[in-house]
Amino acid sequence: MATEEAVVTAPSGAPAAARKKKKKSRVVKRIITLLIVLAVLAAAGFAVWYFVFRETKAEGTIVTATASVNTITSAVQGYGSSRAGANAAVSVALKGVIQEVYVNAGDVIYEGMPLFSIYSPDAAAQVQKAQEDVNNARKTLDAAEKSLEMARKALEEHRGNEDKLAVRAPFSGNLTGVVELVPGQMLEAGAKIATLVNDRQMRLVLYFSYAYEKDISVGQHVDVSVPGLMLVTDGTVEAIYKVKYKTPEGGVCFEADIVLDNPGTLTEGMAASATALVNGEEVTPYSGGQLAYYGTRELTAVLGGTVLSVGDLRNYMDVEAGDILLTQDRDVYEERLAALESDVEAAEKQVEDSAAQLAKLEEVLVNAQAAEQNTEVTAPIAGTVTSCSIVPDQEVEAGTTVITISDTSVMTVQITVDDRNISYISPGMEIELTDWNGNSYIGVVTKIDIEGAQMGSGMSTYPVTLSVENMMGLLQQGMGLNYSFVTSQSVDCVTVPIQCVKNIVDPDGNPHKVVFIKADEKPENAVEFEMPEYYGEYPPYPSAEEGYWPVPVETGLSDRYNLEITSGLEPGAEIFNAYMMTGAYSY
């Protein structure tokens, strides 16, 4: 069988076709390379435009807040430092040698607790001197008290003489020896004005023999005879005196004073006698006597002063008890009164000073006696020993402070409050205090030093002292404390975060305090304004396109975070707070 084989023959011109195919491949490669280069250049240009020349605007999400009802308080805050409520410095009274020391710095002690003992070789001499000083001080005080008593007595006597500016007749009688006086004339204290005699009655002194001692008595009736007038009148025995009047004949007589009414004709010096009826017989005196006025008194100006008026001041003028004879002005009386009051004040001051000096010297004596007896020195107050500078066998000089004690159970804190807030502070007010560790304390205002104000930075600051209970001992001396107290408070008020309230200007240039409220349509009271230029990443205020409109509000109190809205906003309203950025491109 025959097999046919296909024979393939090469066409004529085969080498030329191969060369054309190879050339075409090189052109393609060049085109691809060019395209790659162009793509790279385009990408680089796009990057430069995108990241350098393209204007970008950050987009943010609006964060809103809700107007809510709260209680807001306005508080004042500041800083102060603590110190012990009481301090005591214990010193030695006399030079001596320390025997024993019972405490150390840092010990908590009670009042009266022994601190140390000291021996002083000079104590006896010091005690003697201190005792002498005390004795002298007591004498000085006694003298001062006597001077005060005399000054007070003189003042009271002078006050009692006020009614004596008018010179009155002390009893009824007749004036003699009258000094001529006229209004305007100056009278010295004690100056004589007149003599007043009681001539309404007369007095007769007679002597009777002791043989009639039991027969003549006070109140007995006698007959008085006045030979010069041939008058016999009634008399009464007013007084009997058991004197021993001896007669030339050797008799002994007693005195009988007889009083009789003056019918108007009797005068002083007239001879008179009297007889008494005893057992039906007349008893006569040893001899007669002379009539005398019943009373005589020299009238004087008790107080000095100018004569204002003169009454019935005439010789032989009959006057009644109480009649005003002369009046004086008050000038001299008032001057004397002021001087005596000043004397009393000075005497009181002298007594006070003398008593204080005595107390001081008595304390020195007590200390000297304690030192002489080598007694222990005790704590004057309870507290903590803050320093102790002595050791046994140490010699110390008199007056050296050796131990200091601070009572930290009650601390004081000094704060300063400026003149804007000092009116909110009052004694007894409680103020909150906190230390660096967050511990809280309550300070009570005990003193407001208005006179201690300090000027600076355009305002005045006033020192205020607080008292703080420190029974736990947490407060230490010199510890810094922050204080805070409420100046005002608004309860159940509308509040918003402080940053929600903005300040804008309307087209007329009028400023407005607003909040941007979220609303579907423009509120009637919305304020027109133009968005100011800004260079930040987002605008300062939201726009109407975003659904927010500026409405005016009035504000009240604020704290660190919130602000009271007194009008213009209802509780529950949603308002613009801030932008929260979701992207930002800035190179």
- Residue 234, domain CATH: 2.40.30.170
Lookup: tokens for 521:
């349509």
Q: What is the pLDDT of residue 437?
A: 86
Of the candidate ranges 28-37, 76-85, 430-439, 453-462, the one whose mean pLDDT is the lowest: 28-37
Long-range contacts of 366-369, Cβ-Cβ distance < 8 Å, separation of 24 or more: 367/93, 367/94, 368/93, 368/94, 368/123, 368/126, 368/127, 368/129, 368/130, 369/127, 369/130
Burial of 184 (0-12, 13-18, 19+ CB in 10 A): exposed
Lookup: tokens for 511:
């400023």
Query: CB–CB of 92/354 below 8 Å?
Result: no
Amino acid at 526: A
Exposure pattern of 128-147 as b/e (b: 16+ CB <10 Å)? eebbebbeebeebbeebeeb
Specify if 262 maps to a domain: yes
Positive or negative torsion for Cα 405, 407, 412, 413: positive
The 3-state DSSP class for residue 126 equals helix
What lies within 8 Å, CB to CB, of 327 at 6+ separation is 165, 166, 167, 307, 308, 309
Query: What is the rounded CA–CA span in Å between residue 344 and residue 102?
Result: 51
Q: Taking residues 134-150, what's their average pLDDT?
A: 95
**Phi, psi for 330 (deg, rounded to 5):** -95, -5
Q: Taking residues 149-169, what's their average pLDDT?
A: 90
Specify if 293 maps to a domain: yes
What percentage of residues in the chain have a pLDDT greater than 90? Answer: 57
Helix (H) or strand (E) segment spanning residue 362: helix 331-372
The 3-state DSSP class for residue 538 equals coil
Q: What is the pLDDT of residue 158?
A: 86
**HEC string of 294-343?**
EEEEEEECCCCEEEEEECCCCCCCEECCCCEEEEECCHHHHHHHHHHHHH
**20 has pLDDT over 50:** no
Residue whose pair of structure tokens reads 């030192």 in the numeric block: 371
Task: For 258-317, write each residue's pLDDT tens digit.
Answer: 999 999 899 999 999 999 999 889 999 999 999 999 999 999 998 888 999 998 899 999
Amino acid at 263: P
Q: What is the pTM of this model?
A: 0.37
Q: Which of the pair, 333 or 28, is modelled with greater confidence?
A: 333
Query: CB–CB of 538/581 below 8 Å?
Result: yes
Specify if 202 maps to a domain: yes
Task: For 526-556, write each residue's pLDDT tens digit.
Answer: 999 988 888 777 888 999 899 999 999 999 8
> How far is residue 358 from each of residues 143, 336, 364, 380, 428, measured CA to CA in Å?
13, 32, 10, 21, 37
Specify if 96 maps to a domain: no
444: number of Cβ within 10 Å? 15
In the predicted model, what is the mean pLDDT of the chain? 86
| Domain count for the chain | 1
Query: CB–CB of 225/332 below 8 Å?
Result: no
Query: What is the rounded CA–CA span in Å between residue 233 and residue 210?
Result: 25
Residue whose pair of structure tokens reads 């006033």 in the numeric block: 462
Q: Which of the pair, 408 or 39, is modelled with greater confidence?
A: 408
> How far is residue 269 from each of residues 78, 232, 272, 288, measured CA to CA in Å?
101, 17, 9, 12
Query: What is the rounded CA–CA span in Å between residue 336 and residue 303?
Result: 9
Q: What is the pLDDT of residue 21?
A: 45
Amino acid at 24: K
Structural domain of residue 213, as residue ranges? 168-328
What is the C-alpha R_g of the chain?
Answer: 59
Lookup: tokens for 478:
């010199």
Q: What is the pLDDT of residue 15?
A: 44
97: number of Cβ within 10 Å? 14
Specify if 570 maps to a domain: no
**151 has pLDDT over 90:** yes
**223 has pLDDT over 90:** yes
The 3-state DSSP class for residue 497 equals strand
Query: What is the rounded CA–CA span in Å between residue 491 and residue 71?
Result: 4
Specify if 280 maps to a domain: yes
Q: Taking residues 402-406, what's their average pLDDT?
A: 92
The 3-state DSSP class for residue 542 equals coil
Rounded to a whole number of angstroms, the distance between the first and last alpha carbons of the chain is 90
Query: What is the rounded CA–CA span in Å between residue 76 and residue 429?
Result: 14
**55 has pLDDT over 90:** no
The 3-state DSSP class for residue 143 equals helix
What percentage of residues in the chain have a pLDDT greater than 70? Answer: 88
Exposure pattern of 472-486 as b/e (b: 16+ CB <10 Å)? eeebeeebebebebe
Specify if 272 maps to a domain: yes
Q: Name the band, by pLDDT with cuts 50, 70 and 90, for residue 36.
A: low
Specify if 316 maps to a domain: yes
Nearest 5°: the CA angle 170, 175, 180 is 110
Among residues 137, 129, 139, the alpha carbon closest in space to that of 93 is found at: 129
Q: Which letter does DSSP use for residue 312 in this model?
A: S
Q: Which letter does DSSP use for residue 53 in this model?
A: I
Nearest 5°: the CA angle 346, 349, 354 is 125
Query: What is the rounded CA–CA span in Å between residue 150 and residue 131?
Result: 29
Nearest 5°: the CA angle 176, 307, 300 is 40
**28 has pLDDT over 60:** no
